[in-house]
Chain A
Amino acid sequence: MSHSQHEAIPYTTEVREDTGLYNGKLGMWLFLASEVMLFGGLFSAYVFLRLGARPGEWPHGLLNIPIGTFNTLVLITSSLTVAMSWTALKLGDFQTYRKYQLVTLACAVGFLAIKSFEYYDKFTHYEVWLKAPLAAGEHPGLAGHAAAPDAEVPSVIGHVEGVGPFETLASLEEAGATSITIHPDKYHYRLTAWQQAERTMKEASMEGGSAGAEAHEGLTIELSKIARLSALVPRHSTFFACYFTLTALHALHVAGGIVAFAWLLWPGARMWREEPERYTNRIEVTGLFWHFVDLVWIFLFPTLYLL
C-alpha cells in the first residue's frame, strides 16, 4: 500500500526539473514560512507591549545572561552537527552521521535541561508590591531598590524564605501564613541598567566593597501590608508573560525536533538501507526545521535577555 502510494506520487525523492525541488523540501519551507508568521506575530506583540509600557515598569536584568549565552552556544553547536550529519549521509557515511546526531540530541536535551533549571529559578523568585511604600533606609538590603538613599520603595524583589513556586497572596493566606521573609535582590529593575552598572563600579572601587545583599538578614513583611505578590511567572508582568510564552513555545519546537531526530536515528533508520536518497532528504528537511529553531533563538536571546 505505502509502496504503491510512494510510486504513484512523483517527486517524493527526486527533484522536479522546472521547480528545482522535491515535495518534502517545499513542504517544509512552506511550514517554516508559517512559522515565520507565528513568531512574527508574537514578536510584534512583544514590541507592541514594550512600547506601551509605562516608563520604568518594564523589568530588565532579571534573566541569567551567562546561562543564556551558554544555551545559545549549545543550540548553535547542535545546528552545526545537524548540518554536518547531513553531509556525512551525502558521502554515504552512516556511522559519522550517527555520531553527529548523537551530539545533536545531547545538545538539544541539554538545552531543555538548562532551560528548565532557569525556569525553576524564576518560579521561586518573588516580587512583593506593598500597600504603603517602604523607605529605602528601612532595611540595608533595600539600598539597591531605590534610585536615591531616601527614595520610596513601592515593591521588593527577591527570594522568599520557605515559599515554593507559584504562590499568590491568596494562596499564602489560605495556607495560614501571616508574614513572609524576603531576601531582597542586589538591585531592583526600577534602576536602569546604567544606574546599576554605576553603583557596581563604585562599590568595586571602594576598599573591600560591601558583601552584597545576600549577607543581610531577611526583610520580614506582614501579609496585611502586601498589595500583591507574584513569582517571576507570566502573572508577574507582561515582560515575563512574553518571556515564558516565547521561550516555552520555542522549547516545544526543540522538543519536537528531538522526537523527530530520535525517530529518524533509531526506528526510522531502516529506510537508509532501502532508500538512502529519501532518508538523506528526510534528514535535510528535519535539519531545515532545526536550523529554523536555532534562528528563532538567535533573535529571542538578545531581545529577551539583553534589551
Chain B
Amino acid sequence: MSSETHELGFLRKYVFSLDHKVIGIQYGITSLSFVFVGLVLMMLMRWQIANPGEAVPIVGGLLEGVMGVPAAEGKISPDLYNMFGAMHGTIMIFLGIVPLVFGAFGNYLVPLQIGAPDMAFPKLNMFSYHLYLWGGLVMLASFLAPGGPAQAGWTSYPPLTTIIPTDGQTYWIIAMVIIITSSLLGSINVITTVIQLRAPGMTWGRLPFFVWTEFVTAFLLLLSFPPLESGAILQFVDRIFGASFFMPHDLIVSGTPMADVSGGGSPLLWQHLFWFLGHPEVYVLVLAPMGIVTEIFANNIRKPIWGYPAMVGSILTIGFLSMVVWAHHMFMTGMGSNISMFFQTTTTVISIPSVIVMTCLLLSLWGGSIRFTVPMLFAITFLPMFGIGGLTGIPMAFNSTDTVLHDSYYIIGHFHYLVAPGTLFAVFGGIYYWFPKATGRHMSVKLGHAHFWGSLVCMNLIFFPMLVQGLAGMGRRMSDGGANYSLANPSNEGVVGALSSTIMGLNVLIAWSVVALALFQLPFIFNFFYSIVAGEKVENDNPWGATTLEWQTPTPPPHGNFAEPVVVYRKAYDYSLHFKALHAQEAPEWGSVAHLPDFEPQNLPVSAETVGAPE
C-alpha cells in the first residue's frame, strides 16, 4: 500500500487525488480561503457603513482598479455595496461554510469514524471537489465581469435579478448550478458510504454522533438542493431566453413597461424554490457543527455523552421538519392565514429538537472531569453562542413579530450568531482537535488561546449591537448604515423613531471590532501553517485519548486508512467506565481499577482486562 503512494506523482497525489483525506483537506483549504474572501468583503462593507461616502483607506485604489466605475475614487458606491452584500452571503454560505462542514470534515472524518478504507465512490469524490472549485472560480470571476458581480442579495429575488442588465447574475446562476451539482454528488457519496461501508460491528447505535449529523446533512442536501437547481435553471431561461417564469404581467421598471416580455410568471415561485433549499440549508450549517462539538465534548469531559439516542432522534426529526418550514422566510409576502399558521407551527416545533441536542450537551458536562483544551474552549462556547442565536430566532417564527423584525438588523444579528460564533467556532474547535491526527503535530496552545479569546470578544461586539440596532428599527440593506434615517440628517429633526446617535455610534464600534476580529485570525493562520512544519510532535497515535475509530489509525492515516481490518465492539463514547464500575459496585475498590485507562476505543475487544460490559 505505502509503496504505491510513493509512485504517485505530485498531480495525482495532491490535485487529482482519490484519497478521501486529501480531498477533505483540499475542501478545507479551499473553503477557508473563501471564508477569508467573505471576511474581506464584510470588512469593506462595515467600513463603508461606519464612514458612508468616504474613500476606503489603503485598498481604495486597488478596489477602483479591480471593480472600475462602481468603486470610482476608491469609494464604495451603493451599487458596489449591494454587490459585496450579495457576494458576501453567497460566498460565505455556499462556498465557505457548507463545503467546510460537509466537504472538509465530512470527507476527512466519516470514512475514518466508521472504519472504512475510503468513500464509496473515490472518483466521484474527486469530481465533486473539482466541480466545487470551478463553481467557486466562476463565482469569483464574476467580480471581473463588466458591470460587476450579482447585486440582488444572496437570495437573488426576481424580477430584480432578471432585469439587471449586467452579466454578473448570469455568472451567479451558472456557478450555483455547478456548486449544487457538486454538493449533490458529495451527498450521494456520504450516504452510500455510511450505509454500505460501516465496519463489521459498527451498528447504527454505535455510530459516532458526528457521522449521524453528516448523514442527516447529506439527506438535506440531496433532497433540498435540486429544487433550487430547478429554480436556477428557470432563472437562467428567464435571463437568457427572455422567458417569464418569474416576470409578472404588466411589470413596469423605472416608469417604462417591460417590452417584449410575455408576463404571467410569479416572483413568489422563486421564493418558494429558493427557500425550500434555504431553510434546510440553515440546518446544513448547524448539524455538522453540533456533531463536531459532541465529539470534542465526549473526549474532553471523559464520560459518555448523555442522551445519545435522544440526540440522534432529534436530528432525524430536524432532518424531516426542516423540509416543511421554509415559508417562514416569506411571511412578509402575505400568504393566507391558514398556510401561515401551518408554517408558524412547524417552525416553532422544530426548535424543540435543537433544544434537546443542546440540553443533552449541557447535561453531559455534569459530573465530567472537564479538560479545558483549546478545542474544548471553542466547543463549550458553542453552547451559549448557539443559544443566543437560536433564542433570538424564536420571535421570527411568529407571523406577527416577524413582520416587524424581518427586514431589520435584528435578523442579521440573529443568524450571524448561529453561523459565526456558532458554526465557525465549532469548525475552529474541530480544526484544533483533529489537526494532530491529520499532521502528526499539535497546534500551539498559546496562540490558540489568543485566537479563541480575541475572536469570542470581537464576535460578540460585532453581533450583539446588531440585535440592538435592529430593535431600534435600523433596516438591514442600507449602504449608509441608516445615516439617512438618523438624527444626523437635519430633515429628521423631531421625527419619532429616527435613529439616535447612540444607535448610529454602534456602527463605529462594530467596524473597529471587525478590524480587531480580523487581526485575531492572524494567530490562527500563523499557528496553522507553522504547526504543520514545526509544531510539537504527537506522543502517540491517540494524543487526546479518544474512543472513536479515527484515532485508532497510524498518524497521519495512510492510504486505505487502517493498518489491519477493523471490527467494532463498543458504543462510540466509552469513557471512564472504571468509575461507572466503581459506582455500580462491580469493582470492589478504587485500587482495583485505578490502573486502567479512562477510555476504551470502539475497536477494543471485550475481555477480562477491561471494565464495564459493552452496551
Contacts and interface: CB of A to CB of B under 8 A. Distances in A.
Q: Do chains A and B touch in the complex (CB under 8 A)?
A: yes
Given A38-B226, A38-B227, A30 B192 contact: yes
Nearest to B218: A30
Nearest to B276: A41
Given A38-B229, A52-B266, A170-B260, A233 B234 contact: no
Interface string A29-62: 0110111011111101100110011100100000
Contact of A45 (B121, B245, B260): B245
Nearest to B262: A237
Contacts of A40: 226-227
A119 B225 CA distance: 30
Contact of B120 (A27, A34, A37, A237): A27
Nearest to A38: B226
Contacts of A30: 187-188, 191-192, 222
Contacts of A44: 227, 272-273
A104 interface: no
Contacts of B230: 38-39, 41-42, 45
Contacts of A238: 243-245, 262, 264-265
A236 interface: yes
Interface residues of A, number: 50
B474 to A, nearest CB: 35
B226 A41 contact: yes
A249 interface: yes
A148 interface: no
A34 B265 contact: no
A19 B196 contact: yes
Contact of B196 (A23, A31, A35, A49): A23
Contact of B4 (A4, A53, A54): A4
Contact of B264 (A1, A53, A168): A53
A54 B264 contact: yes
Interface string A1-26: 10011001111000010010111001
Nearest to A1: B4
A16 B269 contact: no
A14 to B, nearest CB: 11
Interface band, chain B: 35 or more
B242 A234 contact: yes
A9 B197 contact: yes
B234 A45 contact: yes
A34 B188 contact: yes
A236 B244 CA distance: 9
Interface string B251-265: 000000000111011
Contacts of A39: 230
A282 interface: no
Interface string B212-254: 0000000000111111111101100110011111000100000
B18 interface: yes
Nearest to B203: A18
B226 A35 contact: yes
A96 B147 CA distance: 58
Contact of A34 (B124, B184, B244, B560): B184
Contacts of B229: 38, 41
A103 interface: no
Given A57-B264, A236-B262, A241-B245, A34 B195 contact: no
A228 B276 CA distance: 35
A11 B266 CA distance: 47
Nearest to A58: B264
Main secondary structure of the interface of A (DSSP, over half): helix
A169 interface: yes
A45 B272 CA distance: 9
Contacts of B393: none
A230 interface: yes
A37 B226 contact: yes
Nearest to B18: A5
Contacts of A230: 260, 262
B237 A234 contact: yes
A30 B215 CA distance: 13
A225 interface: no
A235 interface: yes
Contact of A245 (B189, B227, B234): B234
Contacts of B233: 42, 245, 249
A8 B269 contact: no
B475 interface: no
A48 B231 CA distance: 13
Contacts of A9: 116-118, 120, 122, 197
Contacts of B238: 241
B227 A11 contact: no
Contacts of A170: 260
B1 interface: yes
Contact of B118 (A8, A21, A234, A241): A8
A236 B265 CA distance: 12
Contacts of B187: 30, 34
Contacts of B118: 5, 8-9
A5 B1 CA distance: 10
A10 B191 contact: no
Interface in B264-312: 264-266, 269, 272-273, 276
A67 B116 CA distance: 51
Contacts of B260: 168-170, 228, 230, 235
B199 to A, nearest CB: 10
A8 B122 CA distance: 11
A41 B188 contact: no
Nearest to B222: A34
Contacts of A26: 191-192, 195-196
Given A4-B4, A241-B241, 6 more contacts: A16-B196, A30-B188, A44-B227, A52-B266, A240-B243, A244-B237
17 contacts: A23-B197, A26-B192, A33-B223, A34-B225, A35-B226, A37-B222, A41-B230, A42-B230, A45-B230, A45-B234, A53-B264, A170-B260, A234-B242, A238-B243, A241-B265, A244-B237, A245-B237
Interface of A: 1, 4-5, 8-11, 16, 19, 21-23, 26-27, 30-31, 33-35, 37-42, 44-45, 48-49, 52-54, 57, 168-170, 228, 230, 233-238, 240-242, 244-245, 249
The 7 closest A-B pairs by CB, nearest first: A41-B227, A41-B230, A241-B243, A234-B243, A38-B226, A37-B226, A235-B242
